[in-house]
């Protein structure tokens, strides 16, 4: 059983890590767009932001329903990053216990 479960948990850990990176890149891009550092009319920037939005919005939308904006700041990415960090810790402990 561990022969199958450990690689699956390792794969889950890698996927969660990649999603953390995507989420951080989305936050940075959104800040750069908000402060007019990047031109959102640029085709590449628009495409990159659209892809990042499509990857992150399904996970952020449920959090935004419960966590309102505080002084105009959206804390849903931070909450999601903390949740992913917690999940990665749980997965890592499971891998360590099974290996």
Nearest alpha carbon to residue 9 among 82, 83, 98: 98
Please tell me the distance from the alpha carbon of residue 11 to that of residue 87, in angstroms, as a whole number: 13
Q: Who contacts 74 (Cβ-Cβ below 8 Å, separation ≥6)?
A: 64
- Reported pTM: 0.90
Tens of each residue's pLDDT in the chain, 99 residues: 788 999 999 999 999 999 999 999 999 999 999 999 999 999 999 999 999 999 999 999 999 999 988 898 999 999 999 999 999 999 999 999 987
**What is the DSSP track for 60-84?**
HHHHHHHS--BTTB--HHHHHHHHH
Q: How many domains does the chain have?
A: 1
pLDDT of residue 18: 98
Determine the structural domain holding residue 56 and report its residue range.
2-98
């Amino acid at each position: 059983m561990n022969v199958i479960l450990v690689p699956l948990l390792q794969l889950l850990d890698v996927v969660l890590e990649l999603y953390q990176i995507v989420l951080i890149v989305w936050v940075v891009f959104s800040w750069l767009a908000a402060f007019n550092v990047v031109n959102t009319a640029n085709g590449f920037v628009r495409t990159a932001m659209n892809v990042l939005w499509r990857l992150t919005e399904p996970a952020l939308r449920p959090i935004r329903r419960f966590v309102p904006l505080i002084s105009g700041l959206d804390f849903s990415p931070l909450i999601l990053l903390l949740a992913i960090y917690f999940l990665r810790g749980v997965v890592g402990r499971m891998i360590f216990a099974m290996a």
